[in-house]
Amino acid sequence: MKPAVEAKSVSKIYETAGHAPVKALDNVSLAIAENEFFTLLGPSGCGKTTLLRLIAGFEFPNGGHILLQGQDIAHLPPDKRPVNTVFQHYALFPHMTVAQNVAFGLRMLKRPQAEIGDSVRQALALVKMEAYGARRPSQLSGGQQQRVAFARAIAPHPKVLLLDEPLSALDLKLRQAMRLELKRLQRETGITFIFVTHDQEEALTMSDRIAVMSAGHVQQVGEPLAIYESPVNRFVADFIGDSNFLDGAVVKTAKGGALIKVAPNFLIETSAAGAAKGDKVSLALRPEKITLAQPVKGLPRGVVREAVYIGNSTTYMVEIDGGIGVTVRESNSLSGQSHFAVGDRVGVVVEAGAARLLAG
């Protein structure tokens, strides 16, 4: 099956008079499958909105192609693309009621009156806003406006729905509820979602696949598990969750595994990923993948320098003998106590395969 949306070597440069040109997208290639919940994740300014605007047709690429179900859509203006957007700022029409807002796209498509009525009712029911059809957007709360914006974008049954940080203006509880809601809506409508966020938790909980972006480049594309567990580079490992970054040298390789020495008495076993003996490499190691033990012989040992209680777990900064420091996160005991205190001597356990070899 052809991908729903495909970006082929897309570049976008903004030229503003009196400013240096900004390279918002640099040679970006992506293929987004039919019915996929695909997330663009990256820090502010990395080009996420720009990519959506290129797909919607509000901007034109300086290089490359954008394909919709295999067709190049370069020549199509926004109103001819079967793609709808849920804008970050909602952009509801203030002079129309909620129902008129939702009906707008269908009316522009010249659908029969009866069909418009039905579709509007369905779309409002989908977002549980049936009771608000006669209201003006200014009479709604932020969360309700967000739902209406969603209903408006989905009512014409677009092939692809673009969502630009639609939850960022909502408070935490509402945001968490809306995550599940959006996921449900995507399943029920079967529409391909391209969802933009800078919130890694949002991306991990909702997406089928995630593209991690930084500075106009796609760093890694993969399922949430792969992105979290196997970040390909330091940027991804750092942006998604917390990581310890450890530099070391390969001392032994065998059967697809490698032994890496990061401190005199501290050896970590990982999958080799093409490393050869003697190579200088970097490892990413999640704090929750390290366990602390009694400082018995044979383990790398160190001292707890800091212990930060965060409810169900405690984060420790451990200084390992020989100079390097690692962050460790451990669940607390049943009574809620931390297992270790500042100044305790501890042993550090890293299971084989817990750390990731980073490229570059």
Partner 1 sequence: MQRTQISAWLGVAPAWFVIGIFGVLPMLIMLGISFMVADPYGGVEPAYSHEAYIQFLFERDLDDSLIFNPIYLNIVLRSVGLAAITTALCLIVGLPVAYFIARQPESRRDVLILLITIPFWTNLLIRTYAWILILTRNGVVDARLQSVGFEAGTFDLLYTNTAVLIGLVYSYLPFMVLPLYASLEKMDFRLAEAASDLYANRWRVAWEVILPLAKPGIVAGCLLVFVPSIGAFIAPDLLGGGKRMMLGSLIYFQFATARNWPFGAAVSILLMAFVMLALLVYARVNKGQGLPAGGH
Ligand X SMILES: Nc1ncnc2c1ncn2[C@@H]1O[C@H](COP(=O)(O)OP(=O)(O)O)[C@@H](O)[C@H]1O
Cα dihedral value 279, 283, 289, 291, nearest 10: 60
Question: Within positions 25 to 84, which residues make up the interface with ligand X, using CB under 6 A?
Answer: 42, 44-50
**Interface with ligand X, residue 249, by CB under 6 A:** no
Shortest Å, Cβ 345 to Mg ion: 48
Residues in Cβ contact with 76 at an 8 Å cutoff, skipping those fewer than 6 apart: 57
**Interface with Mg ion, residue 270, by CB under 5 A:** no
**Interface with ligand X, residue 163, by CB under 6 A:** no
What is the total count of residues that contact partner 1 (CB under 8 A)?
25
Q: Which does 78 bind (CB under 5 to 8 A by kind): partner 1, Mg ion, ligand X, none?
A: partner 1
Please list the residues that pair with 263 across neighbouring strands.
266
Shortest Å, Cβ 170 to ligand X: 18
Q: Which residues of 47-67 are buried (b: 16+ CB within 10 A; e: fewer)?
A: bbbbbbbbbbbebebeebebb
| Residue bearing tokens 């800078």 | 198
Percentages (nearest 5) of helix, strand, coil residues in the chain: 25, 35, 40
**Interface with ligand X, residue 208, by CB under 6 A:** no
**Interface with partner 1, residue 105, by CB under 8 A:** yes
Element (H, E) at 330: strand 325-331
- How many other CB atoms sit within 10 Å of the CB of residue 141? 10
Question: Within positions 147 to 166, which residues make up the interface with partner 1, using CB under 8 A?
Answer: 152-153, 156
**Interface with partner 1, residue 56, by CB under 8 A:** yes
* Residue 150 token pair: 């969603």
Please list the residues that pair with 214 across neighbouring strands.
217
- Interface mask toward partner 1 for 113-152; x: CB under 8 A: ------------------------xx-------------x
Shortest Å, Cβ 153 to partner 1: 8
Where on the chain is the footprint of partner 1 (CB under 8 A)?
A: 56, 58, 77-80, 83-85, 87, 89, 91-95, 104-105, 108-109, 137-138, 152-153, 156
Where on the chain is the footprint of ligand X (CB under 6 A)?
A: 14, 16, 22, 24, 42, 44-50
